Amino acid sequence: MSGAPDIRRQPCESYGPRRNGARPDMIVLHYTAMQSAEAALARLCDPTVEVSAHYLIAEDGRVWQMVEEAARAWHAGAGQWRDITDVNSRSIGIELANRGDHPFSEPQMAALEVLMAGIMARWSIAPAGVIGHSDMAPMRKDDPGPRFDWARLARQGLALGLSKAAPGVPDWRAFRDAARGFGFPDVGDEVLLRAVRLRFRPWGRGALAAEDMQIAAGMARACSSSW
């Protein structure tokens, strides 16, 4: 992870000031769910759509900046992470050109890593502050999706990884407590399970399992050491 990404400026009109003097202490990762980066760029810069992000990264590693980091982009929408309900005012949004059904390319991931390292240094954002759109809005969002390599970011200190724990007996109360403590919002059990699996075990299917409790134990440990 070295050098600096070649950032192209593509200003958009859909942004505003961060509310109540907030500073970004989070990064929210998205996929575009569109056929190309150019199509996503056009949509993100269309003032009639009223959505935006700070950055967009193409499959080949090209990076566009649409909103200055100090401003409030309109990327997260309704949702919650920990006690934060206005996620837009507390975060920097990065869109990754990806339909959601295929892996993220090496040039794209490499550009993301360099971009994130710079953002995290400038704003003193901890790995625990890096989340996916589906983490904070699991009722309506899946991105960055099951093909995103969270473990890769964690290995480089760019996202929070979980320590190893033993599988446990399925226990919904313990699972909910761990997930809520980690930051996930208060949603129904099945929605919560799907959101946690998207982040940590996207291949998981079916009922709450011992492997999910293993993740819950890791989340509980992370809470005690990261917040």
Catalytic residues: 95
Q: Tell me 4's DSSP state.
A: -
Read off φ and ψ for residue 24, nearest 5 degrees. -70, 125
Which are the contacts of 138, defined by CB distance < 8 A and separation ≥ 6? 184, 185, 187, 191, 192, 194, 195, 198
The angle, 0 to 180 degrees and rounded to 10, between the axes of the packed helices 172-182 and 210-226 is 40
Which are the contacts of 117, defined by CB distance < 8 A and separation ≥ 6? 1, 158
DSSP string across 67-107: S-TTSEES-S-S--BTTBS-HHHHEEEEEE---SSSPPPHH
- Indicate the residue type of 167: P
Place of tokens 């200055």: 68
Q: How far apart are CA 88 and CA 107, in angstroms?
A: 27
Helix (H) or strand (E) holding 133: helix 133-136
